[in-house]
Amino acid sequence: MWIGTTNGIYKYDGGNFKLFDATIDGKVGLTDGYIKCFIEDDKQNLIIGTLFGLNIYDRKLDVVKPYTFKETAQFLQSKYINALFQKEEQLWIGTFRNGLYRLNTETGNITKITLPNPKKSVDVGIYGIHEHQNSNKYIVVASGAVYSVNKDKGDLVFETNEYIQKSFLTPDGNTLVLGTRSGKLLLLDLHANRNLNAKEVAITPNHTILSLATDRYGNIWCGTENKGVVIYHPKTGTTSRYINDLTKPYALQGNSIWSLYYTKDNTMWLGIFKNGLSVYDSNYFKFEHVKANPFKQDLLNNNKINCFYEDQTGNVYIGTDGGGLNYWDRQTNTYTHYNLDNNNFYTNVVLSILPDGHGNLLIGSWANGLGIFNLETKKFRVLTKENSFLDSNHIFDMTKDKKGRIWIPTFYGGLHWYNPVTNASGTIPLKSNKGIGDANSISRVLTATDGTIWVGTQNTGLYKIIEAEDGNWIIKQFQKGGDNSLTNDFINSIYQDRDSTIWVGTESGLNTYNAKDDIFTPINIENTLKGSPVRAIIQDADGYFWLSTDKELLQYNNTTKEIFRYTITDGLQANEFNRSAVYKTSNGQLLFGGSDGFNLFFPSEIKKSTKQPPLYISKLKIFNQLVTPNDDFAVLEKDISQTDSLKLSYKHNVIDFEFNAITYKNAAKVKYAYYLEGFENEWNYVENRNTATYTNLNPGTYTLHIKSSNADGIWVENAVSVFIKITPPFWETWWFRISITLVLIGLAYAFYLQRTRRIKAYQRRLKKEIKARTFELEQQQHKLIETANQLSERNEEIKRFTYALSHDLKSPLGNITLLTRFIADDLGDKKSKDTEKYLEFIDEACTTLQTLIADITEIAKLGHIKNKNEAVDTRQIAQKAIAMMVSRVQEQDVKILIAENMPVLVGDANRFFQVFENLLDNAVKYMGDQKNPSITIESHTTVDEIKITITDNGSGMDKNALNKLFTPFERFNSSTKGTGLGLFMTKKVVESHEGTLTASSAGKGKGSTFELSFPLSRLHCA
């Protein structure tokens, strides 16, 4: 399909659009992007008229280029081409304000056709060219006149004061239809020889008719300016209209209809100004869709449909989730609502409906119990767990047995039976084989023709209940587990077909009951139902099963195992349906409910199309690059769609073919299959994937075969094929192989001799090197032992020095500190300010030096003290550390949170206390001016590590500080006291426990996080 726009012309194959636009930067293209008209000539080329000249589409090369004229006709390339018609070698060209021309496409000669111009108001702008039936004349339409034209001359046969905008000839050739700017249709009977009279039809007064077309019923479609599309029905003389309607999902996209086109498959395409395309197809949707309309009060009031019931008049009760009970009068197509807002109904959520046989409907609800609705009086009473035998107010389903008892499964309750005549009731306890307690999530129940009660749950599978002759109940449970069992314990639906077979839809597929062997068999057709929830099951009059799922509606033939899929593109309310929301009316119509309304249809009217969509190869790629005729690949002489054989080099070892079945209805549902003859023997069925890729094919000959289904899944005989020859490299020829074999044998022998000599020489060198390396290793071993001894001696010296430093300096520093305080006390108030300041400096320096000595001593111990291996409760350790600094924490009002799941590790409790004390001290010390200071201690476990994090919202750190954080003697805030060894020591302690300590910060003022990581082997096992 070709689509002309104001910005070029598009080729559309149902799946892809390809744009051909104006010539840009020397690239071949249109003379102008504004498309006014186009036709297909008898050589299957497209002739395209634009605002500036004529163009042609070359199908073989898949390019659009300016039409090639003789010099005498070259002037047409500057003209506004408004109408085209071609027959044999004659191309008729209508221009805007420049008259009519006839071009001989064989000779290139051009002739201007003389048209009489009796009125000045009638210009020579041509708006249509049509062939007159059974004559050698043509009907030419100008802006205010109609001409009958022979080969060289035109006669005026009709004139009007109306401005003609558009025209077309009816398929029977008897009527010329003219659309005017004033919004009228002029119908001209062409049986008259001259002086034709027009029948006027008012379509859209004062709104231009921009486009015209006719459908298979003879109706005339008029595309208007701002008034949508108006359809004139000649048989009745009436009109109907389609306009843009925001309340409808399938309405026109706009109201200015610039073009109309009626296809062979009876669909009308509408080109809309600035709103793309709309397509009208009365048969597009296979299923009628009913949904709520918020703008009309007498229609369905809620889209979430749970259940249906048809009364004796053929009208239908519909249970909704949120709108209560709807009563659909099918004669008037109106709905009466029974809910909390209307008719004083007792619930808004109706889950199930069942007639009791005594003039009442039983209404199962969510949370509001069982309603008994009198069909005559329209009044109701309610049974709940507060006033009846029910133990739950959630009722998903109901069934009536042969004795008139109503079976009521309750959700989060039990299974009850109730006799509406005697008011007798009872409860059947259901036990679970898996020992998880009673079955209390009961949602489905069915009475089989043999009297068996089948009960479905949402957690314990399915139960079969048989009433014995003595009145006792025989109960058997069926659950998931094994080949002859259910596919899931969550039961969505239970159904008995006309052959009395029980079908069970679960949350993971479909099952049937084998009564003879008392087992269930999973049904899996083409992997369609494998793992898919089956929401509802029903059999139609022809024996087909209809299955609703969470993504489609399936039609299944249990005899042939054939299955057909239907989705939202076929008119379904949505792809997902609700559990057991299905009903068959007395006349065989099926209703399926979902989350966006419900569908109703007669199964016999759901037809599968057997039409064969044309199939073609649309693209060829080599190494993922598109191949075009006469490009650098030098593979195609014409477009791949016109090519039936390919010659490829062995170098082209990655080739892709793209193919498309040309269909404009549900193209996404078309399936494809292909196989490469000479490489494989079976078809590759690839669903809707329309590409085939082959790599590293051996040189030789192949034939690629491609076929497709139509949109209804019917495989049709439309296969296409392309012959492929892959040429080998020269070295794969027989003569080259023999020559190279002889050469290789000679080279191999020479290589063998040379290799033998080299191996022997290498072995001799290797022995010498091994001997030399052995000597070197022995020397290095001696040196390493000597170095280790030296390091041990130095460590001992450092240790002695450290303790000497601690012993020799501690006492003098203490004396200096004590004497300084004595001097301060002795001077008392006589101290000058400078003296007081100097004394404070001395005291502070001594304190700092004492701290430094203590830290150095501690560092020395780290390498020599062996850690204990005891159980360390990190939460208790953290609490102990906080207790040691409680005054500072309270002073700064710091909130400290410790996670409950802190681990118990194996290590030295004192060392862990040292770690937490140091990290928490730093966090408090560098809290800054934070208004709500806080510290959080947390823990989590990964696959191979235990992590503890200490996070504060304090002053944070920049990247430079983070890089130097664990460096000895580094301090980053001169206003705080310390030696710069605390974090260095903390990291050493963590590492001595096989751990790591890291720090992170988002920047200054954004807090900091310290993370301790330990291997899982450090986790204490109680």
Higher-confidence residue: 597 or 755? 597
Q: Are residues 747 and 807 in the same domain?
A: yes
* Torsion sign over Cα 845, 848, 853, 859: negative
What single letter denotes the amino acid at residue 848?
T
Whether residue 687 is contained in a domain is answered as yes
What integer pLDDT is reported at residue 146 of this predicted model? Answer: 92
Q: Give the per-residue pLDDT at 625.
A: 95
- Cα–Cα dist 79/65, whole Å: 16
Domain of 777 in residue numbering reads as: 734-858
Residue 295 banded pLDDT, cuts 50, 70, 90: confident
Q: Are 401 and 407 in contact (CB under 8 A)?
A: yes
In a domain, 356, yes or no: no
Report the percentage of the chain scoring pLDDT > 90: 61
Residue 667 lies inside a defined structural domain of this protein: yes
Q: What average pLDDT score do residues 92-100 get?
A: 92
Residue 923 lies in a domain: yes
Helix 909-925 crosses helix 874-884 at what angle (to 10 degrees)? 50
pLDDT for res 250: 80
Strand order in the sheet with 562-566: 534-539, 545-549, 553-557, 562-566
Determine the pLDDT at residue 26. Answer: 62
Q: What is the pLDDT of residues 678-698, one digit of tens each?
A: 999 999 999 999 999 999 999
What pLDDT shows up at residue 76?
Answer: 86
> CA-CA distances (angstroms) from residue 808 to 35, 494, 796, 812, 1005?
103, 94, 18, 7, 43
Say how far apart CA 683 and CA 674 lie, in whole Å. Answer: 5
Q: Give the pLDDT confidence score for residue 123 in this predicted structure.
A: 53
Mean pLDDT for 803-825 is: 64
Residue 1012 has pLDDT above 70, yes or no: yes
Q: Output the CA torsion 331→332→334→338 (10° steps).
A: -60
Residue 947 has pLDDT above 50, yes or no: yes
pLDDT tens readout for residues 55-66: 999 988 999 999
User: Mind listing the pLDDT tens digit for each residue in 428-478?
Assistant: 988 887 654 457 789 999 999 999 999 999 989 999 999 999 989 999 999
The beta strands (E) that lie in 263-365 are given as: 268-272, 276-280, 288-290, 305-310, 316-320, 325-329, 334-338, 350-355, 360-365
Give the C-alpha separation, 131 to 39, whole Å. Answer: 14
Question: What is the 3-class SS of 220-259, one letter each residue?
Answer: EEEEECCCCEEEEECCCCEEEEECCCCCCCCCCCCCCEEE
Residue after which a domain boundary falls, among 732, 766, 782: 732
Task: Judge if 128 and 84 occupy the same domain.
Answer: yes
- Are 345 and 308 a contacting pair, CB within 8 Å? no
933/961 same-domain check? yes
Residue 361 lies in a domain: no
Give the residue from 681, 700, 732 where a domain finishes. Answer: 732
Residues 983 and 1014 in one domain: yes
C-beta separation of 160 from 122 below 8 A: no
251 and 124, same structural domain? no
Q: Per the domain annotation, does 352 fall within a domain? A: no
Look at residue 110 and tell me whether its pLDDT is greater than 70. Answer: yes
Q: What is the mean pLDDT of residues 737-755?
A: 84
Query: Based on the domain organization, do 75 and 190 belong to the same domain?
Result: yes
**So what's the pLDDT on residue 194?**
63
| Band of residue 797 on the pLDDT scale cut at 50, 70, 90 | low
Residue-level pLDDT at 114: 87
Residue 849: its pLDDT value, please? 57
> Which span out of 153-167, 585-599, 775-789 was modeled with the highest average pLDDT?
585-599
Q: Which residue has 């290139």 as its token pair?
A: 108
The Cα angle at residue 309 between residues 307 and 312, in degrees rounded to 5 = 175
Are both 909 and 933 inside the same structural domain? yes
The lowest-confidence range among 289-298, 710-719, 763-772, 791-800 is 791-800
pLDDT confidence band for 344 (50 / 70 / 90): confident
956 and 940, same domain (yes or no) = yes
User: Residue range 561-579: average pLDDT?
Assistant: 92
Kindly list the distances between the CA atom of residue 458 and the CA atoms of 370, 455, 489, 490, 522, in Å, as whole numbers in the listed order.
Answer: 20, 10, 6, 4, 18
User: Which pairing describes strands 720-727 and 645-649: parallel, antiparallel, or unpaired?
Assistant: parallel
Residue 356 has pLDDT above 80, yes or no: yes
Strands 870-873, 691-695: parallel, antiparallel or unpaired by DSSP?
Answer: unpaired
Read off the pLDDT of residues 149-166 as tens digits, 9 standing for 90 and up: 987 888 888 999 899 999
Residue 278: inside a domain: yes
* Count of domains observed in the chain: 5
Q: What is the pLDDT of residues 755-767, one digit of tens each?
A: 888 888 888 888 8
Find, among 567, 577, 589, the residue nearest to 285 by Cα. Answer: 567
User: What's 29's domain CATH number?
Assistant: 2.130.10.10
pLDDT at 884: 85
Distance, CA of 608 to CA of 712 (rounded, Å): 6
Distance CA 991, CA 973 (A): 26
What CATH number is given to the structural domain containing 636? 2.60.40.10
- Indicate which CATH number applies to the domain containing 973: 3.30.565.10
Reading across the β-sheet that carries 370-374, which strands appear in turn?
350-355, 360-365, 370-374, 380-383
Q: Is residue 897 part of a domain?
A: yes
Q: Rounded mean pLDDT of 546-571?
A: 93
* Distance in angstroms (rounded) separating the CA atoms of residues 333 and 298: 9
Domain end position, chosen among 732, 752, 769: 732
Look over the chain and give the mean of its residue pLDDT values, rounded to a whole number: 88
pLDDT, one tens digit per residue, over 472-506 is 999 999 999 877 899 999 999 999 999 999 999 99
pLDDT (tens digit, 9 = 90+) per residue, 222-259?
A: 999 999 999 999 999 999 999 998 777 788 999 999 99
792 and 705 within one domain: no
pLDDT of residue 436: 47
Residues 681 and 786 occupy one common structural domain: no
Whether 725 and 810 map to the same domain: the answer is no
Q: Buried b / exposed e across 793-828, counting CB within 10 Å, b at 16+?
A: eeeeeeeeebeeebeeeeeebeeebeebeeebeeee
Percent of the chain with pLDDT over 70: 91
836 in the same domain as 953? no
Residues 6+ apart with CB under 8 A from 643: 617, 636, 637, 722
pLDDT at position 858 is 60
Q: Which tops the pLDDT comparison, 4 or 885?
A: 4
The two three-digit tokens of residue 745, written as one number = 């044998």
pLDDT at 740 over 70: yes
Q: Is the pLDDT of residue 275 over 80?
A: yes
